[in-house]
Structure 1
């Protein structure tokens, strides 16, 4: 087999030369060549990791899988009998990194950055579930390393591939509702999805099938308790990013794409209150963005936990309790994907996607980068969302210097911007 570096160069060059992309999907032109078949790995195979690993296997050969839950791992090994199993991604990459072309990362939020960074620093292409990272510095660093290593990347916010989202984004940019003045985006999460605003559960004994220390990973030491694994970790600051991390990388993606909503200058949050261990039950967060070449200065208001914008902002319409997106312009409004109240339906041209995961495979093969690649899209979008969490944590308005990743008006937030990892894990090198 070709060594890792030469193999990836071969895959890149054959992808360009073969011109195998056609409307409707991907066709691996060099499928019959064993050197051209992508060697895939997955870190985290529960939840979204189940579908991510299946997607990966449909585009190559699954050679390694990792999950801290031995029951899940055992089940996955039956699906991928040719793969080797691990409970620690570091051991997997140390032992097999040279024979892995691409990896999916579908872990709890706090492990996205360390796993992705280790893989990319080895030259491995990376698909990571949303949000890209748990903290702002991690998002900036992951984007930087992806660019330096020249690897193909994609964040798992599948809506960026939809025609509906791309059309709506281009409507905003084309002025279909006039000059955009403000944006309002809401979700019913976390209410009813996982608990927030609660005290830490009582200490328990880890089940024998769970590698608790590997599950904790980079997070500060704490005893095992029911309510962290396998899903309810989202509501804890050490592990998750709350409703913003879970859903904002989906629902904010449309205006982010259309209006270049990066590098906010401030964020302020009203919340139900929290103990700095569990996220609040609800939040209303206001972001301010300075004017840029695509738009004037604009405000974005985020509502979660069942909070919703005033009905009059929607032209008297009742906001959906499940969530929605509203852009208000001086000529009309864009409500979800509908132009209303004087908005002008204009023809827009936008690139159609072959499929979200397929965009990543295309990039691995030497084609154009995926829409939600780490450096240009996923990293900046994640930074925006995580600034909202910084405002929630602080309880004050945060004046933000995006270029330097610094809060201009409040001291003591540095550890929430750039985390300290436990011994055995690497952030910077």
Structure 2
């Protein structure tokens, strides 16, 4: 038996297996480190500030942090002050080389382009994985991580916390039981981007700050000089590093609709970007705004459906659902009998319209979550990957849908999609956007 398998069995046996996981409230069975210090889940955290700070602290609350990794020394030292017993690394590859046998699970909270290289290295070595959204930078990587998690029987979770929200689960259950009838249209919109994008590469020469290990930030991306236009926050809008407005928010705002309607494997995707997004800008950044239309065929009991995505201030006409208030971000699901609207990216709150027609609507029974990260930790302790509801089997499918919008953006034409084979049927020249090349030393 492998060492990883033995460790998993130990964690599982150390948990109170007889306790109920979810009991109609937000209380979990808990994991008391007092019961056995040796049974604590040993986490390594890659990317430890920004969003990584909350993922890191969630890991610290649910186990023991044994390693911290960040390409920014200042950020790394800040995290190390909070977790002084953890070993510090700038390079996750060195961390794995030296500590693979001391790690049970990893958190990956890096820029998008490094999600898959950092996560897949650990997953191949049998480490459970919590990875921020979007799960990956490319469609191909999302399929790889989904398949690898299944092959290795790993517990996984993507960081789209709304999956644990009771409002999201209720709305999805209402749609699935047919409360608003067959759905023909879904509209999703966001206030992103809130960072610069739509322009060319910076020309000003800047010295890299001494605390930033620029080569490690680049990771799998092609080499280019350091610029403060990229690091630390503005990388999202650059094609080499981020996935733009769509990648940043669709795994949140689209989540309820995807869960309710199985919005996976679209037949076609077409993007209508800012018409001024031309020339060098198209090679470097995502557009200032766009509308993207996905077409889905029949999916089990679900009818064909269109999904409309809007970013950069674009949104649907509020006249579609005048009783609702369309704010900067939101979602609207249009059925034959009614509509469900939310202005929450996580879908915590929502309304069913026309309100008069649904005033007596009963809420469906749902399984409430003990907390998004707690689901992941419980899955590890119980050795039951299905306990984490945004596990990579679900999250990988969602991420494929989301990132196909960026494929269509870069293709510049409607994309006809063969989901089984991960192939663009009508534009072979656009197939390059489904996957990517990796800089030497950062291959998968």
- TM-score, scaled to structure 1: 0.95
Indicate the residue corresponding to 1:412 in structure 2.
Answer: 429
Q: Is residue 298 of structure 2 the alignment partner of residue 291 of structure 1?
A: yes
Correspondence for 1:145 among 145, 148, 152: 148
Indicate the residue corresponding to 1:201 in structure 2.
Answer: 202
Indicate the residue corresponding to 1:172 in structure 2.
Answer: 175
For structure 2, which runs of at least 5 residues remain unmatched after alignment? 343-349
Correspondence for 2:104 among 97, 101, 104: 101
Query: Given the superposition, is the C-alpha separation of residues 343 and 365 from structure 1 closer, same or farther in structure 2, using an over 3 Å criterion?
Result: farther
Tell me the CA shift for residue 323 of structure 1: 1.0
SS in 2 for 1:372: coil
Query: Bigger shift: 106-115 or 34-43?
Result: 34-43
Q: Is residue 247 of structure 2 the alignment partner of residue 245 of structure 1?
A: yes
Contact between 1:4 and 1:99, CA under 8 Å: does it hold in 2?
no
Q: Is residue 103 of structure 2 the alignment partner of residue 90 of structure 1?
A: no
For structure 1, which runs of at least 5 residues remain unmatched after alignment? none
Correspondence for 1:364 among 351, 376, 380: 380
C-alpha deviations, 1:305-341, integer Å up to 9, x for none?
0001022212375521x11110111111111110012
Determine the C-alpha separation between the residues in 1 that align with 2:33 and 2:403.
Answer: 41
Contact between 1:186 and 1:323, CA under 8 Å: does it hold in 2?
yes
CA RMSD of aligned residues (A): 1.7
Contact between 1:41 and 1:103, CA under 8 Å: does it hold in 2?
yes
SS in 1 for 2:35: coil
Correspondence for 1:280 among 274, 281, 287: 287
Contact between 2:22 and 2:367, CA under 8 Å: does it hold in 1?
no
Indicate the residue corresponding to 1:373 in structure 2.
Answer: 391
Query: Given the superposition, is the C-alpha separation of residues 25 and 157 from structure 1 closer, same or farther in structure 2, using an over 3 Å criterion?
Result: same
Tell me the CA shift for residue 398 of structure 1: 0.3
C-alpha deviations, 1:370-429, integer Å up to 9, x for none?
010002x100000000011111111100000011000010022232111111111222xx
Contact between 1:331 and 1:343, CA under 8 Å: does it hold in 2?
no
1:191-270 map, 5 Å = 193-202=194-203, 203-270=205-272
Query: Bigger shift: 338-347 or 243-252?
Result: 338-347
Determine the C-alpha separation between the residues in 2 that align with 1:154 and 1:68.
Answer: 23
Indicate the residue corresponding to 1:327 in structure 2.
Answer: 333
Indicate the residue corresponding to 1:339 in structure 2.
Answer: 352
Indicate the residue corresponding to 1:354 in structure 2.
Answer: 370
C-alpha deviations, 1:206-264, integer Å up to 9, x for none?
11100000000000111111111111000011110001111100010001111111111
Contact between 1:176 and 1:343, CA under 8 Å: does it hold in 2?
no
Query: Given the superposition, is the C-alpha separation of residues 128 and 347 from structure 1 closer, same or farther in structure 2, using an over 3 Å criterion?
Result: same
SS in 2 for 1:41: strand
Contact between 1:188 and 1:305, CA under 8 Å: does it hold in 2?
yes
Tell me the CA shift for residue 9 of structure 1: 2.5
C-alpha deviations, 1:90-109, integer Å up to 9, x for none?
10111101100111100000
Indicate the residue corresponding to 1:10 in structure 2.
Answer: 10
Query: Bigger shift: 346-355 or 206-215?
Result: 346-355
Contact between 1:44 and 1:67, CA under 8 Å: does it hold in 2?
yes
Query: Bigger shift: 307-316 or 144-153?
Result: 307-316
Query: Given the superposition, is the C-alpha separation of residues 17 and 197 from structure 1 closer, same or farther in structure 2, using an over 3 Å criterion?
Result: same
Q: Is residue 172 of structure 2 the alignment partner of residue 159 of structure 1?
A: no
- TM-score, scaled to structure 2: 0.92
